[in-house]
A and B are shown apart, each in its own frame.
Chain A
Amino acid sequence: MDLNFTPEDEAFRAEVRAFLESVPPHLRGVSRRELSKEGQLEWHRMVFKQGWVAPAWPKEYGGTGWTTTQRYIWQEENAAYEVPIILPFGVTMVAPVIYSFGSEEQKAKFLPRILSGEDWWCQGYSEPGAGSDLASVRTKAELTEDGKHYIVNGQKTWTTLAQHADWIFCLVRTDPNAPKRQMGISFILVDMKTPGIEVKPIITIDGGHEVNDVFFTDVKVPVENRIGEENMGWTYAKVLLSHERTGIAGVARSKKGIERLKEVAGQELLDGVPLSEDKGFMSKVTELEIDLTALEFTELRTLAAESAGKGPGPESSVLKIKGSEIQQRLTELTLEAVGHYGFPFLGDEQLDGWNESPIGPDYAIGSAPSYYNTRKTTIYGGSNEIQRNIIAKMILGL
């Protein structure tokens, strides 16, 4: 056991930093909410040019062949430079399903376009009636008589960034009479331009538009767009759900978040003295930092096990629970730190190209909306209650 990085790792870190130094300022330090579609794509193309979009993929499909340590360094430096994330829907969600279970044609058609950012993907799993209980999806896909197409009818919901998407991957019901609900589900890929698809925004309590309802009315999907066998979609999706553990805990970004929080506390005054000198407040920050250190080492242990060949398992639930709770606590303490200036609500026009001086200090802007928005992290990706159920069952054997 040791914590040292090898000289090769340090050389790699230098290479990563050299690349990140070249990222233009307008792509740094912007939250996802502020980042436009164009900004997101610009970033994706930069990383693509560098060949680093998909560290976790097998090399034959365009993966980097990095060690887990290198992947860790990449995450850490990304957070330190506050560059955007590579959106997970294509690269970390659908691609592993395609290269693990897809046909050669599907791999050749979709993987290069995911890497290059040519196709923007979204995830069509959840439905109004199927949230935590995902196996109850009802969106129906029926084969046409000639067996060449599925006709899809139904509704997906909470679909993140569907408003920008070119493709959506969906769990659909192909056998309503299967003996177990999980056995009648197929995994299909749908071109968002197909007639019969309608995307409607869902506005969240922070005023943002990141999720949508997606309606399907007699949408015609070629059978070639089904992954693997009919009615086997649940099995494929489950593999995906626990895939790619690097980054799920968001450790590197939360570390940066704590740094930022301390900066805020250093500027905010309490009786004329910086809040960062207040024992009461800082003990909460310290507690959070220690929690995060524990999570960092839990993640490192998980990664070590993974690189030793142990496949992804229920341990990812540990990372999800602790990671999301820390992210929430971070926004909570930031809102607390800014005092009265948590109140002003500045609309988008004031985030982007606003010429007047903002209301209150810069560091306070958006702290309440960000706190509101971050409540999502314990809800999505399998709620924390569901993650605890998984741990109880799969790890504790209860």
Chain B
Amino acid sequence: MKAMQFSKVKGDKNQHKVVVYALSTCVWCKMTKQYLKDNGVEYEYIDVDLLNEEDKQKIRQEIQNKSGSLSYPTTIIDNKVVVTGFRKDLLKEALGI
């Protein structure tokens, strides 16, 4: 089976590790991705609704281990700051943008 793939989006601001757990159908997830991109933040994302069952399960573990909730988008910065939903204010603060 193919390994689960995070898509990477390049940016000049790459001092933080930014991971977005998203749904391909969710407009707020799209806005989060767009917001990061517009601000030149490097990030990776995964659209959880497009994964197979096994990978979904892995992602769930991953999110919950970092005490994220199962709602989307969930953005995890440097493996510790968890931002639930499209929250410009919180992203701004965490990323210094």
Q: Do A and B bind each other?
A: no
Interface residues of A (CB under 8 A from B): none
Interface residues of B (CB under 8 A from A): none
